[in-house]
Amino acid sequence: MVVLRAKGVRNSRACLPSRIAVLRMVIFGGFLSLSLVLPITVLFSNRLPAFETDGKQQRPSASTSPMSSEHSTSVLPRLRGSINGHGPETNEAETNKEGRAEVAAKAPPKAHRTRDSLLTVSGAKLISKEFLWPLGYAPFNNAHASSIIEIEPDEFLVAYFGGSKEGAKDVAIWTSRKQADAKVWDPPVMVVDESGVPLWNPVLFKVPATGEVLLFFKIGHSPESWTGHLQRSSDGGRTWGSPTALPAGIVGPAKNKPVYGMEDGAIYCPSSTESYQAWSAWVEVTRDNGVTWQRLGPIVVPGINKGVIQPSIFFTNEGHLRAFCRSSRQIGKVVTSTSYDGGYQWPPASPTDVPNPNCGFDVVKLTDGRVVMVHNTVNRAVLEVSPVPRACPSSIACFG
């Protein structure tokens, strides 16, 4: 497992209690010989576009000015390696004493243009990369679907599922912790195991008002049949209460983090369902810290049954709830929609110009209003993260 961290960029606490700018952990098995591809480009626009509030998404107004390219810089070139006991080979990178690959800035690639934003390269200056455990020493062959929060300043907790392979009966939920000022991560700890039934997609969330840590996860033989569960911790994830099943029809966040309503204290979970040949995205809301729930939506692409799943959501500067969704290969693009009534109704979702080969991604809003997306533009066969092909040079995008 690898953690990528952008230095000097902080998140909006209304969206994610963690200060780290990296949105998704990249996880690979410890014993399998898998290609490790970690090229990263960060793209930003200066601010969110101005939308009309008549219930329809509009192109940004002429007053929306993207961040100029003179303030842009690419922060991480392509890194390759394999998880076979050998460390990753770095390109244009230097490794410091702690074993972290630290990569200097390089010239920005050409930016994407989407339907409602102009993406340019970020001014973030440095990204560090570190493994959560020594290569070959994980207690499982495969780990996947990670989630990360900041427990205290510079103390991080990561959750992921691990086992022989995705969907296997031995797959459990694990966590790893890095203490403040620690050089290495603590060994993985199994926190949930359902004998004979696989577990899926853990999502961590620290409630800003109380400090309680919530761990959402799924139990079932497949995404079509899984059920959502919730586990709580009052000591920063060191100990956990017993898992409880979420109400029928509620699965919790599908893969990406919830966002917190600072005004009403509601927790908005980006969710989705994957029935046979039918996908749809939703937002599940709890206003009493997970006791009762309401499902809002759906978010759909008209005319396409197997359309979108695994949304990532944030509040725009105007207070609207916006979603970016993973799509099927039939669509092949990141899909977006904006709700103007707190998530109750969503206009028909439409594709952006950002490629999405049926791969998960994540989005976070920063304190300065920029919105960063970490995504995969090529394919999912080797779990590539943000490659930079000629046809699609931008890989970590910022939507404004």
**What does the mean pLDDT of the chain come to?**
72
Question: What ranges do the domains of the chain cover?
Answer: 2-399
pLDDT at 117: 36
**Amino acid (one-letter) located at 11:** N
In this predicted model, what pLDDT tens digit does every residue of 68-105 receive, in sequence order?
323 222 222 222 222 222 222 333 333 343 333 333 33
Instruction: Please enumerate in sequence order all residues whose Cβ is within 8 A of that of 197, keeping only pairs 6 or more positions apart, or say none.
Output: 169, 219, 220, 221
Tokens for 312, please give them. 């990532």
pLDDT at 81: 26
Average pLDDT for 301-317: 95
Rounded to whole angstroms, the Cα distance separating 130 from 156 reads 13
Classify domain 2-399 at the CATH topology level: Neuraminidase (2.120.10)
Rounded to whole angstroms, the Cα distance separating 75 from 134 reads 25
Output the 3-class SS for 69-90: HHHCCECECCCEEECCCCCCEC
Rounded to whole angstroms, the Cα distance separating 272 from 373 reads 19
Average pLDDT for 204-219: 97
pLDDT at 155: 96
Return the number of other C-beta atoms located less than 10 Å from residue 64's C-beta: 18
Residue 109 pLDDT level (bands cut at 50, 70, 90): very low
Rounded to whole angstroms, the Cα distance separating 107 from 92 reads 13
In this predicted model, what pLDDT tens digit does every residue of 320-377 receive, in sequence order?
999 999 999 899 999 999 999 999 999 999 999 888 989 899 998 888 888 888 887 7
Would strands 120-121 and 127-131 be described as parallel, antiparallel, or unpaired?
unpaired
Does the pLDDT value for residue 110 go beyond 50?
Answer: no
Rounded to whole angstroms, the Cα distance separating 371 from 195 reads 40
Would strands 189-192 and 199-206 be described as parallel, antiparallel, or unpaired?
unpaired
Residue 135 pLDDT level (bands cut at 50, 70, 90): confident
Neighbouring-strand partners of residue 15: none
Q: Phi then psi for 208, rounded to 5 degrees?
A: -60, -35
pLDDT at 1: 62
Q: Which of 235-239, 259-263, 371-375, 396-400 has the least mean pLDDT?
A: 396-400
**Amino acid (one-letter) located at 133:** W
Query: Are 50 and 61 within 8 A, CB to CB?
Result: yes
Query: Are 343 and 283 within 8 A, CB to CB?
Result: yes
* % of the chain at pLDDT higher than 70: 62
pLDDT at 303: 93
Residue 202 pLDDT level (bands cut at 50, 70, 90): very high
Does the pLDDT value for residue 124 go beyond 60?
Answer: no
* % of the chain at pLDDT higher than 90: 51
Report helix, strand or coil for 142. strand
Residue 2 pLDDT level (bands cut at 50, 70, 90): low
Does the pLDDT value for residue 207 go beyond 60?
Answer: yes
> Could you identify the residue written with the tokens 């989705």?
272
In this predicted model, what pLDDT tens digit does every residue of 18-32 receive, in sequence order?
333 333 333 333 322
Query: Are 43 and 67 within 8 A, CB to CB?
Result: no
